[in-house]
Chain A
């Protein structure tokens, strides 16, 4: 018979620092798995902004959840980044043991942050409830911060909206932080990282004191999912967040110079201890309006490592390292014929490489202006390694560049189906592949 077990303060049965099972899984930096982790990556988001702060929008929004796989209470530090990898703002989420927190980014961009609080700020559990086998502890550093106000100041909201739509932000001194892609309706774009931390830090991952046993911890306990939903368009797609595990003892994530996820912010010291993503991917595409299932074709969501810490920049300029290059992107048709650029007969000879993913986070239509493709269907080989001017990162291989790729296939107004492209390598020193097919 079923029975809701009410909270009875049974902290004594907690399992220590880890839950029942998650402690069993080892961390293997060469393998990116769908397992609880110390960092979660939402590789790309879009949110249609309502005209006024606080307004509603039936257009696209992105939801994500942050969940705690362990009985131990944790703090999760959420950072919003622009599509050019400039950190825009950050906030913290307190999770009791086994807690879950859903975040609608439209709410955040309307100034409403998730309401959570550790026991010091919420002794009566009015904000963050505590289950009977869930730890609820005090993070004293959260005093005065948790729970967040119902709405953040208007200037903070305006800053987020401007930064994520490529407009000048007053809080950045009139500088820009992302791309202004135009369009009738303003769409906020960027990506999100979520790290386990040990205090209610307001630092960004690039700031001193965040890593190297500072704010960030190596608790592999977070898990989550996300969905991009357009109620108006009646389409949605989802996936698990990308789970990035940490280990301060594995040489591949702790030896100086190794490629770690946040290597660009730790000056080749590897002191974030996070495993890197892959650099080579494979994904199928359709580019045929007569395709019976996906007549609207395919788009590719690509997150890329900028390999340098990016700051706000003068609007109208394009900062280094953009546009990001790559070692090889090859389109194969279904007869395995590779599609390659044909050089002109006389110089100068332009690059023969496709470089359709110039930003840190983007969605690019296969067969569109930025990614012209002749064939109707096939698959794409992505070797997204690249060097970046001024970046010695990672020291083990400065030409390595991690990325994340998702394929989105669509029938407009009907459905949208997505899946992660397949990893063909990993960005640890044991696995980086600079292979170029055939040429």
Chain B
């Protein structure tokens, strides 16, 4: 005896967002699974359909952006290449408590989520309004954002995310070309709470003063699905909280999530930074009873540069990224100091025991101090130019059977880095 209550105009009884999000102090040093002002999908892969509008049977990354509050939200989504170049941005309008699933393959086919605020959709034919959900009008309009992108833009997105020359950018490149038979688009996604139908993006100097707000109301999930290989895994999106009063994301010189790319001395994005030192287990043994295919590490890193497109065949000045220390412990706690820099890009999936991450042990755990080994050229963040935020997940596989992911454990935060290293003999 239950029914779906039809949307009636009861917006006046809207409940406010849950109390903790209103806290002025957001405990910057702790990344938690709570609604944030920015969501990060740290890495995606999507097999590019051969033709625009075609289907892909290989890997796709699905994610959702959801509104935890009764108040309406406007979200600016930015698709970034794996070398941290913004490729494409668009906006999503969410009524109170709204959800919006997105498929990366759809985006590679030029299909954008169709949403509209009350000004663009006064009769709720596009973005229906639930009876506890606010539906308002934001400055600007969604009208200029098509449901289907033109062919030139789609070709740009596909080229940019696969390391090919972009026809829209005079043949420049934006990411790495892996030269695979099946073309896979790679990169990462950010989604920011904004108050304006902005055409700006995080690399634009005025984006954080003219478009973003600090409402910690966004949450989301993500799924890597490969139907042909019958594997899938999921995780929550990384939620970054913002505060316009917490000194750690407001004071001059502090490290904030977007701080190092927008070049400001004082954080203008007010978003908490991620961790910088992580621990994650690995298996590297083809005879392992559960994970014979081994482990990969998904690593997102702060390039600390507002990266622009570059000449194909060259690489950005910051590339390849190094780090302070990587140690692989075997299960007898013998440490192996690895003089490698396996996480060179802004985002990547790297096989443990593969060519870029050789390791001797069959299993154990990794100590990943992904802070920079030297201060950044830009001097950012001012309080600690060697601090470098990152995000790490470990993925365990049994090929064509299953894939299991778990976030690595945060051992240190980028807001206040302890630059000691493991004292290896």
Interface residues as binary, B5-25 with A (CB distance below 8 Å gives 1, 0 otherwise):
111001001111011100100
Q: Which chain A residues numbered 227 to 286 have a C-beta less than 8 Å away from chain B? A: 227, 229, 231, 234-240, 243, 280, 282-284
Most buried by A among B30, B359, B407: B30
A35, A98, A282, A342: which contacts B66 (Cβ < 8 A)?
A282
Decide if A400 is an interface residue (CB 8 Å cutoff).
no
Decide if B132 is an interface residue (CB 8 Å cutoff).
yes
Decide if A409 is an interface residue (CB 8 Å cutoff).
yes
Decide if B207 is an interface residue (CB 8 Å cutoff).
no
Decide if A43 is an interface residue (CB 8 Å cutoff).
no
Q: For A214, what are the chain B residues with a Cβ–Cβ distance below 8 Å?
A: none
Q: Give the shortest distance, in Å, between B208 (CB) and chain A (any CB).
A: 24
Chain A residue at smallest Cβ distance from B19: A433
Q: Is the CB of A35 within 8 A of B7?
A: no
* A97-B333, A422-B35 known; A415-B230 Cβ under 8 A: yes
Q: Is the CB of B236 within 8 A of A15?
A: no
Interface residues as binary, A1-28 with B (CB distance below 8 Å gives 1, 0 otherwise):
1111111101001010001111111101
How distant is the Cα of A172 from the Cα of B102 in the complex, in angstroms?
52
Chain B residue at smallest Cβ distance from A408: B234
Decide if B44 is an interface residue (CB 8 Å cutoff).
no
Q: Is the CB of B404 within 8 A of A5?
A: no
Q: For B284, what are the chain A residues with a Cβ–Cβ distance below 8 Å?
A: none
How distant is the Cα of A415 from the Cα of B424 in the complex, in angstroms?
41
Q: Is the CB of B5 within 8 A of A338?
A: yes
Binds A, one of B145-153, B156-164, B219-227: B219-227
Decide if A344 is an interface residue (CB 8 Å cutoff).
yes
Decide if B409 is an interface residue (CB 8 Å cutoff).
yes
Q: Is the CB of A235 within 8 A of B402?
A: yes
Most buried by B among A1, A6, A336: A336
Interface residues as binary, A400-433 with B (CB distance below 8 Å gives 1, 0 otherwise):
0000000101010111111110111110001101
Decide if B329 is an interface residue (CB 8 Å cutoff).
yes
Binds A, one of B183-191, B298-306, B335-343, B372-380: B335-343
Q: Is the CB of B99 within 8 A of A284?
A: yes
Decide if A218 is an interface residue (CB 8 Å cutoff).
no
Q: Is the CB of B1 within 8 A of A342?
A: yes
* A237-B404, A417-B233, A435-B18 known; A223-B409 Cβ under 8 A: yes
Q: Is the CB of B334 within 8 A of A132?
A: yes
How distant is the Cα of A10 from the Cα of B359 in the complex, in angstroms?
23
Q: Is the CB of B290 within 8 A of A415?
A: no
Q: For B98, what are the chain A residues with a Cβ–Cβ distance below 8 Å?
A: 334, 336
How distant is the Cα of A337 from the Cα of B131 in the complex, in angstroms?
6
Q: Is the CB of B402 within 8 A of A236?
A: yes
Interface of A is mostly: loop
Q: Is the CB of A225 within 8 A of B333?
A: no
How distant is the Cα of A149 from the Cα of B2 in the complex, in angstroms?
55
Chain A residue at smallest Cβ distance from B14: A438
Binds A, one of B81-89, B314-322, B410-418: B410-418
* A131-B333, A238-B404 known; A284-B64 Cβ under 8 A: yes
Binds B, one of A76-84, A316-324, A372-380, A386-394: A372-380
* A24-B413, A130-B333 known; A419-B236 Cβ under 8 A: yes
* A131-B329, A344-B1 known; A7-B236 Cβ under 8 A: no
Q: Is the CB of A424 within 8 A of B34?
A: yes
* A340-B5, A342-B1, A422-B34 known; A431-B219 Cβ under 8 A: no
Decide if B95 is an interface residue (CB 8 Å cutoff).
yes
Decide if A341 is an interface residue (CB 8 Å cutoff).
yes
How distant is the Cα of A432 from the Cα of B225 in the complex, in angstroms?
36
Q: For A337, what are the chain B residues with a Cβ–Cβ distance below 8 Å?
A: 4-7, 128, 130-131
How distant is the Cα of A436 from the Cα of B406 in the complex, in angstroms?
32
How distant is the Cα of A40 from the Cα of B279 in the complex, in angstroms?
16
Q: Which chain B residues numbered 70 to 128 have a C-beta less than 8 Å away from chain A? A: 70, 95-99, 101, 128
Q: Is the CB of A20 within 8 A of B129?
A: no
Most buried by B among A36, A240, A343: A240
Decide if A108 is an interface residue (CB 8 Å cutoff).
no
Decide if A129 is an interface residue (CB 8 Å cutoff).
yes
Most buried by A among B6, B31, B231: B231
Decide if B249 is an interface residue (CB 8 Å cutoff).
no
* A333-B4, A411-B232 known; A20-B219 Cβ under 8 A: no
* A25-B411, A67-B279 known; A424-B35 Cβ under 8 A: yes
Q: Is the CB of A416 within 8 A of B232?
A: yes
Q: Is the CB of B402 within 8 A of A336?
A: no
* A7-B334, A24-B416, A423-B32 known; A407-B5 Cβ under 8 A: no
Q: Is the CB of B334 within 8 A of A131?
A: yes
* A31-B32, A417-B232 known; A227-B396 Cβ under 8 A: yes
Q: What are the 7 A-B residue pairs with the smallest beta carbon separation, nearest first?
A: A336-B130, A131-B333, A415-B232, A417-B234, A238-B404, A129-B332, A236-B402
Please list 8 pairs of residues, one from A and one from B, whose beta carbons are closer than 8 Å in the complex, sorted by A's number: A5-B425, A13-B423, A23-B418, A25-B30, A98-B329, A223-B279, A237-B404, A238-B404
